[in-house]
């Protein structure tokens, strides 16, 4: 699985002009299931994200996790994180999981993050969404369970 994690002051997702997920301080997590992901990929990624020390402590250092600050997560499925641009200017997405597998892994990932005690809002799988955010820092981190 791949994820692009952004520390945010707030974030929201809209489909057809209606807000479907909205958070205050926390993380916007754009996530992509990859073809061939091992069974534990969602668990591994969720654990890593929940413990990622990218929130400021009392001295202003990035030393606290999402759990430590009781932040929320807006989790949005984004298959374009699987883009392969090695063969020209038009990206290919053959490395992404199939839509059925992608939905299953996305929903499983959400359940795992919730089980860690994190307040989770979500996007809508496969929808054309408008995602808004106020990036805090900015702090943006690329994560891949293969690395």
The CATH number covering residue 9 comes to: 3.50.80.10
Which residues fall within 8 angstroms of residue 97, CB to CB, at 6 or more apart? 32, 33, 34, 35, 37, 105
Instruction: Give helix 99-115 / helix 41-51 axis angle, nearest 10°.
Output: 40
- Residues assigned a catalytic role: 78-80
- Judge whether residue 146 has pLDDT over 80: no
Q: What is the pLDDT of residues 27-59, one digit of tens each?
A: 999 999 999 999 999 999 999 999 999 999 999
Residues 108, 75: Cα–Cα separation, whole Å: 12
pTM of this prediction? 0.94
Q: Structural domain of residue 51, as residue ranges?
A: 2-144
- Closest alpha carbon to 41 in 143, 136, 133: 143
75: its two tokens? 């989790």
Percent of the chain at pLDDT exceeding 70 = 99
Number of domains the chain contains: 1
């Amino acid at each position: 699985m791949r994820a692009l994690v952004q520390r945010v002051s707030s974030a929201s997702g809209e489909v057809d002009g209606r807000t479907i997920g909205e958070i205050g301080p926390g993380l916007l997590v754009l996530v992509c299931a990859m073809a061939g992901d091992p069974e534990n990929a969602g668990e591994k990624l969720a654990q890593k994200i929940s413990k990622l020390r990218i929130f400021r402590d009392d001295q202003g250092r990035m030393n606290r996790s999402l759990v430590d600050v009781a932040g929320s997560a807006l989790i949005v499925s984004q298959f374009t994180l699987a883009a392969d641009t090695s063969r020209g200017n038009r990206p290919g997405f053959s490395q992404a999981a199939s839509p059925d597998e992608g939905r299953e892994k996305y929903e499983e990932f959400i359940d795992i993050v919730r089980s860690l005690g994190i307040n989770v809002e979500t996007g809508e799988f496969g929808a054309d969404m408008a995602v808004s955010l106020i990036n805090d820092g900015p702090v943006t981190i690329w994560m891949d369970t293969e690395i």
